[in-house]
Amino acid sequence: MPEPLPILRIGHPVLLQRALPAGDAGDLGLQELLEAMLATMHDASGLGLAAPQVGRSVRAIVLLPLIARDQPTEEVAPLVLLDPELELDGLPPVLGVEGCLSIPELRGLVPRARTLRWRARDRAGRPIAGAAEGLTARILQHEVDHLDGILFPMRMTDLALLATADQAAHLLALLPPPERGPAPPGMPE
Ligand code: NI
């Protein structure tokens, strides 16, 4: 596995750029970037990572697939998506806790669509598509936002719902029970 890359922190201008299409999946540089992103996500114990977070302004994201009861797992191969596009459910958004590897130590309650459909290219360039809900849908929205230069606080409608990680329990207590989920959310993405 390649060495993890340094993760850009909020304030770096690359995090505010709209990323370019991922380009030819056969490009060796792109494949090396994807491997490095997977290593970086693993090293940082993140649930997802977008290429701009490692300084490459291209439309590529990686995320851990979440299985039964929305629990993250490393037992299943991570998802690698090039040029992902989301179709949100159009329903009123739901609040949930988010963190970001580019914004260490902060958590926030962020409104997001609860369900969505996505399409993208896999790492070989083949079209793939799927549906997601709950935490997986939230991570997809968070990572695709990174490709458009949007960080999670920019999606928040109430900055009173921002907290340091050690205070995130107070945020959880504000959520209706069904949204609290079985595991402490707010893990870095
Ligand atoms: Ni993030």
Q: How far is the CA of 178 from the centre of ligand 1 (A)?
A: 24
Q: CA separation (Å) from 189 to 29, 68, 141?
A: 24, 19, 11
pLDDT of residue 70: 53
pLDDT digits (tens, 9 = 90+) for 154-168: 999 999 999 999 999
Catalytic residue list: 143
Helices (H) and strands (E) in the chain, counts: 4, 10
pLDDT digits (tens, 9 = 90+) for 50-60: 999 999 999 99
Q: How far is the CA of 12 from the centre of ligand 1 (A)?
A: 13
Mean pLDDT of 120-132: 96
Q: How far is the CA of 85 from the centre of ligand 1 (A)?
A: 17
Mean pLDDT of 18-44: 96
Mean pLDDT of 22-29: 94
Rounded to the nearest integer, the mean pLDDT of the chain is 90
Q: Is the pLDDT confidence value at 67 over 70?
A: no
Q: How far is the CA of 26 from the centre of ligand 1 (A)?
A: 26
Q: How far is the CA of 174 from the centre of ligand 1 (A)?
A: 22
pLDDT of residue 1: 77
Signed CA dihedral, 104, 106, 111, 116: sign only: positive
Are the C-beta atoms of 50 and 143 separated by less than 8 Å? Answer: yes
Q: Distance between CA atoms of 100 and 11, rounded to whole angstroms? A: 13
Residue 147 confidence class, pLDDT cut points 50, 70, 90 = very high
Mean pLDDT of 126-139: 94
